[in-house]
Structure 1
Amino acid sequence: MSKTPLLEGIHHMKLPVSDIDKSYAWYHEHLGYEAKMKFVESGVLMGVAMGHPNGGPSLALRVDPDRAAVASGFDFFSIGVPGKDAIDALATHLADVGVAHDGVIRTPVGWVLSGIHDPDGYDVRFYTVPLELPADLAEPIVRES
């Protein structure tokens, strides 16, 4: 019997943000996220838990300007997109709403759409799923720069 713990996907991801209204508006307007729960402390909106109507991962935003400033430019996660047609459509949608990006690029494990930055400067990436790993992969892929 395996001693490896049983896990089931990602429950949610949480990002520190400098401006909750601005960040929520960006994820809502550009990616379609919808508020599911709001966290108000002493009368001030401090967090928003969001869901995605078409299967995207749950995402939460939490006011923490200091952490947001330090993490700017980092890619905390990549969101899965179901195939090449869907990632191409996403790239077109983002361009149409004025969000700059690097275009859809082929990688050893599928297609990636990168170069997208939210209001705090986080690098938001999208990859096609499932990963396209070689069937006979015995060792991890090593990518050297």
Structure 2
Amino acid sequence: MTNKKDVIIIGGGASGLMAAISSLECGKKVTLIEKNEKAGKKIYITGKGRCNVTNNKDISEFFDHIMKNKEFLYSALYTFDNKRLLELLHSNGLKTKVERGDRVFPVSDKASDVTKTLLNIINTDKNSEILYNT
């Protein structure tokens, strides 16, 4: 990989991983900088270690549960909604299941599988680089 980067992302949490994937989809050269020894550490603890990935409800129902300034989220949620997230994960091999309350979890019940899937998407792109312990 050349030294020229289009995008540098600080932090390899869920948002940083998704920002990297989005940037790579736009054809950008991406460097993700993570201060820890691995990315997605908080993903591992969500949903009691199972990772409640998203909710399977229609996106319009999300707004019924937002108390203040829901208009602020319209653009973000309609640009990349829960269905698109599931399409991304499924097309990269992660199988999911829907449980009570329309909560979506990996079939394996392992949050690590969600992190591995996101990292695999990034690592298989020749325009990506992840720096750990930095």
Greater RCO (Cα-Cα under 8 Å, separation 6 or more)? 2
Normalized per residue, the structure richer in helix is 2
Provide TM-score, normalisation by structure 1: 0.28
**Higher Cα radius of gyration:** 1
TM-score normalised per structure 2: 0.30
